[in-house]
Amino acid sequence: MKAVFYERYGDPDVLQYGEQPDPKVGPDSVLVEVRAASVNPVDWKITGGHLDGALPTYFPVVPGWDVAGVVVQPGPSVTEFQAGDEVIGYVRMDTVGLGTFAEQVAAPVRTLARKPRNVSWAEAATMPLAGLTAYQALRAVGAGEGDTVLVHNGAGGVGTYAIQIATAWGARVLATASEKNHDFLRSLGAEPLTYGEGLADRITVAAPEGLDAVVDFVGGDDLPVSLEHLRTPGRVASVVDAGIKDEGGRYIFVRPDPEDLLALTELVEAGSVKPVLAETFPLERAADAFRSSIEGHVRGKIAVTVGDEGQAGLPAA
């Protein structure tokens, strides 16, 4: 099969495009024909060797944890899916080696759910890691009806999902972003706040009775500022700052969960959540997709498409 791979750690220049062995399908996995994958910061951090101390790595590495595609072969013990099913998945293993930036991937059923019927392959591929991160962070702080929730980095890939999920759950959402992204945040259902100096005063004006919960997707000095406005200490989650546990909060490292992923699919099909697709690149230009992610300043997520069906109806990058 064709795949993107690298044989040593480094920047996006180490990524190659070429032939790799076809995946082997274990008893509890399915072979997925990939239509699209998406780029997450963790992908280029792993490529750079920054998670070498946490996850065993086997070269050559095919990067990528997000996938949208079609089941072509279920493993012998699989009853959840059959050939022809359209699925999405957060295909994170306990090792680094066999990822989703390829024509095919063998995905454990514990990582998969059905694809929403009302979005493109590329949009669907943005859902698993970012959507699950937002979903699990909001659930960790108990966000729900009537709450005032502050989302840090609302215009990012995870933040766009968090705003929409929290709104769908009946919360009032405040979100930090640069001023140029304020109208975009309003379109998602959030009340924007400019990050940085003076944030404490802006929170006081927007939420004079305080915040019910905070979810943080960027880290930095704004997080401790916002904690001073929490009505109930401990209702805070961060994907960046593990020290938040010392404040009684939750550090989130997203986990594959088919029930959570199915809940996201249902929110998307209901129209409550819409994936925000910033750019798309064909598989052979995965290095350019990595560079775009590293440069940042995009609204939403970057996807990599595979084959003509994956690219159908999408603007060129």
Task: Give tens-digit pLDDT for 231-240.
Answer: 999 999 999 9
Residues 124 and 43 in one domain: yes
Would you say residue 312 lies in a domain? no
Residue 160: give its domain's CATH number: 3.40.50.720
- Is residue 78 within 8 A of residue 29, CB to CB? The reply is yes
Cβ 202 vs Cβ 222: under 8 Å: no
Residues 65 and 110 in one domain: yes
- 196 and 296 part of one domain: no
In a domain, 93, yes or no: yes
Q: How far is Cα 272 from Cα 100, in angstroms, rounded to an integer?
A: 27
Whether the predicted pLDDT of 316 surpasses 60: no
| Same-domain status, 163 and 235 | yes
Please say which residue of 206, 225, 251 terminates a domain. 251
315, part of any domain: no
The reply to whether 124 and 262 lie within a common domain is yes
Range of the domain at 24: 2-128+257-305
pLDDT 10s digits, 166-175: 999 999 999 9
The DSSP bridge pattern shows strands 29-39 and 301-305 to be: antiparallel
CATH, residue 40: 3.90.180.10
Percentage of residues of the chain with pLDDT beyond 70: 98
Q: What total of structural domains would you count in the chain? A: 2
Asked if 216 contacts 251 with a C-beta cutoff of 8 angstroms, the reply is: no
The structure's pTM equals: 0.96
Residues 266 and 173 grouped into a single domain:
no
Task: Please check whether residues 29 and 147 belong to one and the same domain.
Answer: no
Q: Are strands 172-177 and 236-238 parallel, antiparallel or unpaired?
A: unpaired
**Distance (Å, rounded) from C-alpha 275 to C-alpha 261?**
13
Q: Does 154 lie in the same domain as 192? A: yes
Same-domain pairing of 33 and 66: yes
* pLDDT digits 0-9 by tens, 1-39: 999 999 999 999 999 999 999 999 999 999 999 999 999
Give the SS3 label for residue 162: helix
- At residue 312, the pLDDT reads 59
Average pLDDT over residues 198-214: 98
Q: pLDDT-based confidence at 298, cuts 50/70/90? A: confident
The mean of the pLDDT values for the chain is: 96
